[in-house]
Structure 1
């Protein structure tokens, strides 16, 4: 490797990743650290302890986002932000989100060890509820911070047990006093596993993320009629599950029509009354489409609701389709992306430009702050799974690129 002689501690980074993975550890080697639970609280507390041990000042905003600040030589300069999230899917892996937070901590630890003070302050962020797996609204903390969602709306979201976000924040003591809104910041960098197979397949060590693809998400409810499975003939059936199957098949077809760039998924399905000898009378399910081209998502958003309604009506049922949100393709800041590109080249890592297939906190942060992302490979492209895996050297490479980009930005000439 060439470049600076300032190096992160790869073993400490890995040990810290493994220590965080102990919190919410699952029998199959993953984690279950659902947002705003007692397990999430334990992860936040460990994160706070680690931050304070190297002199960082931690503050919490009204949606529970955590900001750990390291002062710069010039207090008038806007801080450089870096981070990700510590919450997980119900059967998540050790690295989704946590890599970005713990690697950010390693950047701070390395600066502390080397007694290096950057010109601008640096703030490490743990965003609340990136995953959306408990309250059904992904990118919640960064979305509230960026002004995409009002606090009132977010506080009122409830989990399957009826616990609201506001109640959960109070219960774990993380409804902070600082306002959840954008503040002047110079840049934001986020390190994340790719969650896809491209980097591994091509043997690349670093993904230089140029932006994130467009998305539209829906909640669907199909209403038919419960009826006895043994006595109801085909002519009088109003099978909500059959109607849902027709819609799901259409989601898959629309995805495949768009080739390898197409994405269409039904990830949640709730069947009522869920009895083996009762024709389902109601089905609730999620639908999402993604594509790098905004025009493709706009076309789908314009045509799919009517197509789905027709399919459902043909099966004697009714459809309620609610659009949750539509996110345009988000390009990242050219200057910040170039710092990632330069760092990877200087360090001698093989790299390629890539568009993020997943939504990340960076997508909403980028609306207020110049932003870039760094990807590392993950085994078989697998994520949102307890078997999610990366190599220690992959984590270290991503962290070193993060270090170089953040420090370069924090020391840039104004």
Structure 2
């Protein structure tokens, strides 16, 4: 933030005495940016007034440049003539992902961070706080306050999903340096491994191992469904690919030896239309809806299409079609979401054969645990009813269940107060995320909350995914202030 911007945001200026490394100096408490960081004067978050914190802003031009420059690593699927009009093919642990990781490590180290990589490739970049710097840098280390997200993409993804959150975290570090702000505790940025789940079929993989939800050895042994370019997998394991790109870290992951956090804040595009409909640039995420994945096999009996009358058929596909349409009807009735994402005919299907076996999957979502359970029971009961009605049999297995997540109220309050300051409004929309995020796993071990900014038409997991420079910067400014507010309230680090 420039000194002119700070002056514009303040109605008055108070002068206090602070100390540089070599001499005392008098300067306004708003601490304008200085061109030479080595000669800046420092102030602690504890000494910052509410007005000063409310004036902190991310640099929108710099943040936008960061987002687009990182997109050179895996740029693909051009949709326009402008240089920035491409999507991303940057699957986890691919060569393109390695380049993005290398950038992240170099950039954060240049800002004075200590970088740690754990055994599943999660990267933690930490800017030491005052407590850590005591006794010649041998002071007591406490968990850092983190901003976090991911740099990997879908096979035909966009350049904002996850990337915005990581780049905004780097921008926070740069603003803290420019403004000479010393945090009481450590502050960091984390890049989580394979949030998208596209290569190995396990979403939020790195944060899941970190939290203990996923077993490290089992994750290491997973074989890829897609290669690094989004083509058919080559049977490469997670561990092999971590080794291949040089990010099989030595730090323990999961259990008591995991890299601990004081709090986790995540900035992300909404991936829906609510903020766009409200014409708001920022929303506070109060939680993530739960979801259940079902694997369904419907078995009938193959027979001749020209000789088998309807009353004698055991048509697995016809029964499935009725099931699929009714799944949606049940979801609409319960104000939920349901998706049949895959469908496969098995066993010698042909144009003149009544289908004998169908395999499909169902994704069920609801923000309330009780309603999700009720939705799942209704769907399973309906599947049996239609199977019986059309002389077929159905087998249903639960592939995955993730209960709804409610974020920490105190962390949400930090975001809400920051959003009010940035947007100049007394009310900020509260939203529930329809998609899973790494914050789901961090919330199991530390105070966690998220910030949403709108994306055009709610489009995500698509090359044309887009968030405006203004909205991105507003979200990053809220993230910056939330991290500073959280650090200020940590008191004597007895958290």
Of the structure 1 ranges 390-399 and 7-16, higher mean CA displacement relative to structure 2 is found in 7-16
Q: What is the Cα deviation at residue 343 of structure 1?
A: 0.7
Equivalent of 2:365 in 281, 287, 290 = 290
Change (3 A) 1:65 1:205: same
Of 291-300 and 174-183, more deviation after overlay is shown by 174-183
Picking from 109, 128, 146, the partner of 2:193 is: 128
Q: What is the root-mean-square deviation in Å for CA atoms of aligned residues?
A: 2.5
For residues 187-206 of structure 1, the aligned pairs below 5 Å read 187-206=263-282
Q: Does 1:172 align with 2:245?
A: yes
Is 1:333–2:408 an aligned residue pair? yes
The answer to whether the Cα contact below 8 Å between 1:68 and 1:123 also exists between their aligned partners in 2 is yes
34-43 or 365-374: which moved more? 34-43
Any idea what the Cα deviations from partners look like across 1:272-303, whole Å, max 9, x if unmatched?
A: 47976366555443311111221111112334
Alpha-carbon contact 1:205-1:349 (below 8 Å) kept: no
| Residues 245/363 of structure 1: CA separation in 2 closer, same or farther (3 Å cut) | same
Q: Paired residue for 1:55?
A: 112
* 1:227-270 Cα shifts (integer Å, max 9, x gaps): 776787656765544343333222211211123xx111122334
Please say which of residues 404-413 and 111-120 is displaced more in the overlay.
111-120
RCO higher in structure (CA 8 A, sep ≥6): 1
1:143 paired residue number: 208
After TM superposition, the structure 1 = structure 2 runs for residues 15-26 of structure 1, keeping only pairs within 5 Å, are 15-24=65-74, 25-26=76-77
Question: For residue 99 of structure 1, what is the aligned residue in structure 2?
Answer: 164
Cα distance in 2 for partners of 1:318, 1:91 equals 37
**Contact in 1 for aligned 2:58/2:474 (Cα 8 Å):** no
Decide whether aligned partners of structure 1 residues 45 and 290 sit closer, same or farther in structure 2, where only a CA change above 3 A counts. same
Per mean C-alpha deviation after superposition, the further-off stretch among 126-135 and 194-203 is 126-135
The DSSP-based 3-state class of the residue aligned with 1:186 is strand
Cα distance change on mapping 1:317 and 1:198 into 2, 3 Å: same
Find the residue that maps to 1:68 and give its secondary structure.
Answer: strand
Shifted more, 57-66 versus 230-239: the winner is 230-239
1:307 aligned counterpart, secondary structure? helix
Structure 2 residue aligned with 1:359, among 436, 461, 467? Answer: 436
**For the Cα contact (< 8 Å) 2:253–2:259, is it kept in 1?**
no
Separation of aligned partners in 2, 1:404 and 1:90: 34
* C-alpha contact (below 8 Å) 1:206/1:349 kept by paired residues: no
* Correspondent of 2:287 among 211, 216, 224: 211
Distance 2:354 2:151 in 1: 41
Query: Among 388, 391, 394, which residue is 2:471 paired with?
Result: 394
User: Within the alignment, does 1:36 sit opposite 2:112 as a pair?
Assistant: no
Question: Contact 2:252/2:259 (CA < 8 Å) preserved in 1?
Answer: no
Q: Deviations over 1:211-236 (max 9, x none)?
A: 11222122334455667767876567
Once structures 1 and 2 are overlaid, which stretch shifts more, 11-20 or 318-327?
318-327
CA distance in 2, matches of 1:249, 1:374: 35
Note if 1:301 corresponds to 2:358: no
Q: Distance in 2 between matches of 1:202 and 1:365?
A: 29
What do the CA deviations read for 1:138-197 (whole angstroms, capped 9, x no partner)? 111111111112113323333333333333333333222111124432111000111111
Q: C-alpha distance in 2, partners of 1:292/1:302?
A: 16
> Number of aligned pairs?
412
Provide TM-score, normalisation by structure 2: 0.77
Q: Deviations over 1:121-152 (max 9, x none)?
A: 11211111112222222111111111112113
Distance 1:282 1:130, change over 3 A: farther
The partner residue of 1:67 within 99, 124, 145 is 124
CA contact (8 A) 2:294 2:361 kept: yes
Maintained 8 Å contact 1:246/1:312 = no
Describe the shift of the 1:87–1:238 C-alpha distance in structure 2 as closer, same or farther (beyond 3 A): farther
What's the secondary structure of 1:268's corresponding residue? strand
Deviation larger for 141-150 or 210-219: 210-219
**Which whole-Å deviations, capped at 9, do the CAs of 1:312-370 have from their partners, x for residues lacking one?**
45445544433122222211111111111111112234521112222111111101110
Unaligned runs of 5+ in 1: none
Q: Which residue of 2 aligns with 1:265?
A: 339
* Residue 163, structure 1, aligned to residue 214, structure 2: no
Structure 1 residues 34, 314: closer, same or farther in 2, change over 3 A? farther
Cα distance in 1 for residues equivalent to 2:264 and 2:126: 14
Equivalent residue number for residue 58 of structure 2: 8
CA contact (8 A) 1:91 1:386 kept: yes
CA distance 1:282–1:86, shift in 2 (3 Å): farther
> Residues 184 and 23 (structure 1 numbering): CA distance in 2 closer, same or farther, change over 3 Å?
closer
Secondary structure at the counterpart of residue 405 of structure 1: helix
Please say if residues 67 and 125 of structure 1, whose CA atoms lie closer than 8 Å, have aligned partners that are also in contact.
yes
